[in-house]
Amino acid sequence: MRKLLRALGTWQGPEKVAEAITARGFLVPRFYRDEMIAYCRACGVDDSSDLETYWNEASREVVSCGGQANPRQRRFIGEIPYRSAYLDQLAEAKKSLPPSDFLEIQPCLLRWLEEDQSQGAKLGKALLERAESFKDQERARHPTLPSGWTGKKRDVPPIFRHFAEQCGFIEKKLPQRGFIGGGKAFCKETASGLVFHCWVDTGGLPDVAPRVPLEFFVSHVEDRFPPLGAGPDTICVGAECYARFRSPENAIYGIYALINIFDAFYSTFE
């Protein structure tokens, strides 16, 4: 087994990540999940455990397989340390449903996507607006954050550095950084050799939109490529809301939240 996969096997699981994030006062992921659960209950699905199981199993597959798993398409590349029988059952059950434009295999989430599409994305926009309002309230409970937001990617690294160093990440030069060439990243290493590295992607268009340009990966000191791409929703469903923003204040707060969430993810490995 790859050394990366063996070390990823020390993960305490998505439930522990959610607990660690909540303990730090970042409640937007829980808000998002509760909103989706409420939608499903309104559709006649009363048991929230079904959605929680789905999200947790999908996260467990992706992390355990080092990112080489696609839970919705049931595709795996290379070794498969963990495959969810629950997700296999959902994928099989979807075959009896009418054809859909979406790959989603969870029936209630599939219904939400199809309804959102039929309404011209009104459902999604309304949910993001509610999440943004919730984020405003949450931000007020956290320490005063630095200013310096210009909306330009070139000005994001100093803000990111401030928060990364607060969380104990150290800037290092890596020979392989994600799926691109070597470069500098802020890193933390576990006793089992996992390297959690993150940076600001300043490439492409100069403006920051529609989300903050942060990259999060996990590799191993002796097994760097391919790494695990640890996007916000891979770590905890709903965390992607922090990456999107409607105000300069929430852009900075989103960077602060995301590096803390990545650090919480780090804390759940040995």
Per-residue pLDDT averaged across 15-32, rounded? Answer: 98
Residue 249 CB partners (closer than 8 Å, separation 6+) = 136, 139, 145, 149
pLDDT-based confidence at residue 177 (cuts at 50, 70, 90)? low
pLDDT in tens, 87-119: 999 999 999 999 999 999 999 999 999 999 999
Q: How far apart are CA 259 and CA 161, in angstroms?
A: 10
Per-residue pLDDT band at 47 (split at 50, 70, 90): low
Percent of the chain with pLDDT over 70: 96
Q: Is the pLDDT of residue 46 over 70?
A: no
pLDDT per residue as tens digits for the range 194-247: 999 999 999 999 999 889 999 999 999 998 888 999 999 999 999 999 999 999
What's the whole-number average pLDDT of the chain?
94
If you write DSSP's letter for every residue of 172-226 in order, what string do you get?
EEES-BTTB--EEEEEEE-TTSEEEEEEE---SSSB--SB--EEEEEEETTEEEE
The band of 48, judged by pLDDT with boundaries at 50, 70 and 90, is low
Which pLDDT belongs to residue 176? 63
- H or E element that contains 69: strand 69-70
Residue-wise pLDDT tens digits, 115-138: 999 999 999 999 999 999 999 999
